[in-house]
Amino acid sequence: MKQFIKYVLATMTGLSLFSIVIFFFGIFSLGVLVAISDSKNPVLPNSVLSIHLEGNLVDRSQEDIWSVLSSDESLVIGLDDVLKSIEEAKRNDNIKGIYISAGLFEGGYASLSEIRRALLSFKETGKFIVAYSGAYTQKCYYLASVADKIFLNGEGIIDLNGISSSTVFYKNLLQNIGVDMQVIKVGTYKSFSEQYTNTEMSPANREQMQVLTSSIWKSILQEISESRGVPVDSLDAMASSFVSFQTQMQCVDWKLVDGICYYDEVEDYIRQLLGLDEDEEVPVVEPKDLLPDDLMEEKSGTQIAVVYAIGEIDNGTMEGINSSELSKTLRELAKNKDVAAVVLRVNSPGGSAYGSEQIWRATQLVKEKKPIIVSMGDYAASGGYYLSCAADRIFAEPTTVTGSIGIFCVIPNAEKLMKKIGIDYESVNTNPYADVPNLMRPLSDSEQRIMQGYVDRGYKLFVNRCAVGRTMQYYELEKIAQGRVWSGASALELGLVDELGGLDEAIESAAAQAQVFGYSIVEYPAKKTLLETLSEKPSLGMDKIFLGTELKKEKDVLDRIRRIDRMQASLPYEIVMQ
């Protein structure tokens, strides 16, 4: 009865809160709509597009009421919006240049490569790009290095110190609390489970991470070198001298920047480029001012469908890839006669092996009817590669993290923990394996053997899918599988991808293979309005409000431990490049 009363009270409280939020949202959304309708102003002559690098870069922008209601004021920038605004600025004769201001900005190197390439295309029109900051992070500097002129504040710094990838090991923590992580895996380099079973990297994992980071660093240095006219070896030597703590004039001498100045002096310089008098205001355009209002626009005629597969596969939240929904979308597109080709945009570290197989099947159904091209973002590894391998053509950035063709399963054994806290356990089973998996006891030898066979079969299926998709012999593909991660540049050499490029190049390839010239681009899933998002799942984002962003990483770790008893095709660790 107490449980029943608790659930009733919780439900009533939830409904009351939801009603208040809906009421507030009705007023709020009206204000937002009015603001949006008033914000679209004509672009004045001699305008400059201002791109402020602040916050987190994601593949797609999405309206989110909870970021407004909560205390989390961190910015989220959509890669799609940035690319569209640069392209529009390139075509608009009233926009003469781009001003890049760099702040605390976080994004994957592959996504930054796409923006950088768009900026290079913008420069080909003869328009200018100017960058300024008081503190360039390495990623911001990589992006800003494309500018015609790079300026640094007199007290500013540049972070160009190389790439580091690290991980945290939980073995001793788990042992201290009495939890043993039982690992069943295939692949010498499939290292996800090491964080639970080791206190340091295995030689194989250290090797693959060294090769991966070195390849990405080489690509970054090469692009900066081409833009700044500084040899790669010289840039690498600068990075080894701890650039962050060198003097500002040293950065000028090394040609990392073109000058030291304050913001008002940069503004004066831009004014000169535009031919304006010193008392004239520089007409500034924000990226959102250039975006089309096509959220609800119906498109007819020949279409290229761009399908986004972002996040972990079947991770149990609304933020990742739902294999059932994505598979359904692909099956429907295969039958849609208006859709000439499909581009699958993958930005995923993997996840459920079962879910990956279902999406793979759906890509096969599309391939039987029309071209399907994959565009890889920052990550398209493990399950992310699984769902990509059947495509007619695969595009990746040089800095994309891909491969990781391997499978694992980890089952926690909390028997010692239960004894520590005074809990005893016993079960009665009708059959030998009726209580498997059981977190209250270790796996028996026979259970371990049976599960290893299960994982082995999953691995062989994964490798075979990739071998067939890449038209390679099984043994050839297996040599570069083993759970090993590769950069996009290395993947191209190994035959895991077909070409280096981004989403635009993938769309062009899809159109060429479908032999269509006049077409519209339709994105799936369609972007939702604030009201649609709220009506689908009122609780979406409430964890931000009540849990707080400070605990998000810890919560993510616990969530991953909770679900890893399923067979997983995931990246080794959560690879973060700094």
Cβ atoms of 143 and 100 closer than 8 Å: yes
Question: Which secondary structure element, helix H or strand E, spans residue 379, and what is its range?
Answer: strand 372-381
**Annotated catalytic residue: which of 190, 191, 356, 375?**
190
From the candidates 191, 356, 382, 487, which is the catalytic residue? 382
Which residue stretches of 1-42 are H helix?
A: 2-39
Residue 525 preceded by cis peptide, ω within 30: yes
Three-state SS for 387-427 is CCCCCCEEEECCCCEEECCCEEEEEEECHHHHHHCCCCCCC
Compute how many other C-beta atoms are within 10 angstroms of the C-beta atom of residue 255: 14
Contact partners, residue 338, CB within 8 Å, separation at least 6: 300, 301, 302, 303
How many beta carbons lie within 10 A of that of residue 489, not counting itself? 20
382: annotated active-site residue: yes
∠ CA 206-409-547, nearest 5°, is 85
- The answer to whether 195 and 561 are in contact (CB under 8 A) is no
- Please say whether the beta carbons of 54 and 139 come within 8 A: no
Question: At 521, phi and psi to the nearest 5?
Answer: -105, 125
Question: Helices 203-228 and 232-239: crossing angle, nearest 10°?
Answer: 120
In sequence order, the β-bridge partners of residue 184 are: 409
CA pair distance 216, 112, nearest whole angstrom? 12
Q: How far apart are the first and last CA of the chain?
A: 53
Contact (CB, 8 A) for 271 and 490: no
Read off φ and ψ for residue 512, nearest 5 degrees: -65, -45
Burial state string for 512-539 with b = 16 or more CB within 10 A and e = fewer than 16:
ebbebeebeebebeebeebeebbeeebe
Contact residues for 495 (Cβ-Cβ < 8 A; gap 6+): 470, 472
Q: How many CB atoms lie within 10 A of CB 41?
A: 9
CB 154 within 8 A of CB 261: yes
Distance CA 520, CA 158 (A): 42
CA distances from residue 324 to 20, 319, 358 in whole angstroms, order as listed = 33, 14, 8
The separation between CA 111 and the C-alpha centre of its own chain, rounded to angstroms, equals: 8
Residue 139 annotated in active site: no
Tokens of 387: 């769902």
Coil, strand or helix at 491: helix
Rg, the chain, Cα only:
26
Q: Which helix (H) or strand (E) covers residue 493, if one does?
A: helix 488-494
**Do 352 and 383 meet the contact criterion of CB atoms below 8 Å apart?**
yes
Question: What's the rounded Cα separation, in Å, for the pair 402 and 483?
Answer: 10
What's the CA gap between 548 and 16, in Å, rounded? 22
Residue matched to tokens 């994992």: 205
List residues with catalytic annotation.
Answer: 190, 382
